[in-house]
Amino acid sequence: SRILNMYQIRDIYVRAANWDVVSDLQHMMLTVLTSNQPGYADGMIVRSFPERIQTIKRTVFMVKMFLYSSLTVTLVLAGLGITNVMLGAVRERTTEIGLRKAVGATEEMIMSQFLLESVTISLVGALLGIAAGVVSVAIMKRMMEIEPAYLVLAASLVAGVIFAVLLGIASGYIPARTASRLDAAEAMRFE
């Protein structure tokens, strides 16, 4: 009676806000429909397809697990790569480290130098990743003709930079500590 020229309604499709409220929504819909249309209560059926919902939930869970495990492996490999580069730098510059210690450099100065180098390497990688991400978002925006959530994008960029700094510090700590603890006389004789 509220919609002109519509005399028969055979199906009504309702979308739930999320998967967790589907069964409650199903019961609420049946209650509302039967209370508003008591003469048709016996002919009304509300379906929710819980098997399909469970299949979709499992698929989403598997994709999330794959993404998280890929992210973890990537971060571990990046950290190991930075550690290896910095250990190589310490080995190549052992004589320089010994000379710096001989002229008065403290352990903290040498440690901060190598930590700064590892953070710089990590930040360069992060900035390259950020550039690739921004370009990817721009391409997808054009292809799909959608507007991305810029707040989420900005938060991701800030989190990426912070995480890169932390990864650089964590990966460079052992090489920096190794460099700072070298004996000046031994290091200057190293070849």
86, exposed or middle or buried, with CB in 10 Å at 0-12, 13-18, 19+?
Answer: buried
Read off the pLDDT band of 191 (50, 70, 90). Answer: low
Amino acid identity, residue 1?
S
Q: Which two tokens stand for residue 178?
A: 């190794």
In angstroms, the CA 70 to CA 73 distance is 5
Tens of pLDDT, residues 103-157: 988 999 999 999 999 999 999 999 999 999 899 989 989 998 888 888 988 998 9
Tens of pLDDT, residues 40-66: 778 788 888 888 889 988 999 999 999
Residue 8 has pLDDT above 80, yes or no: no
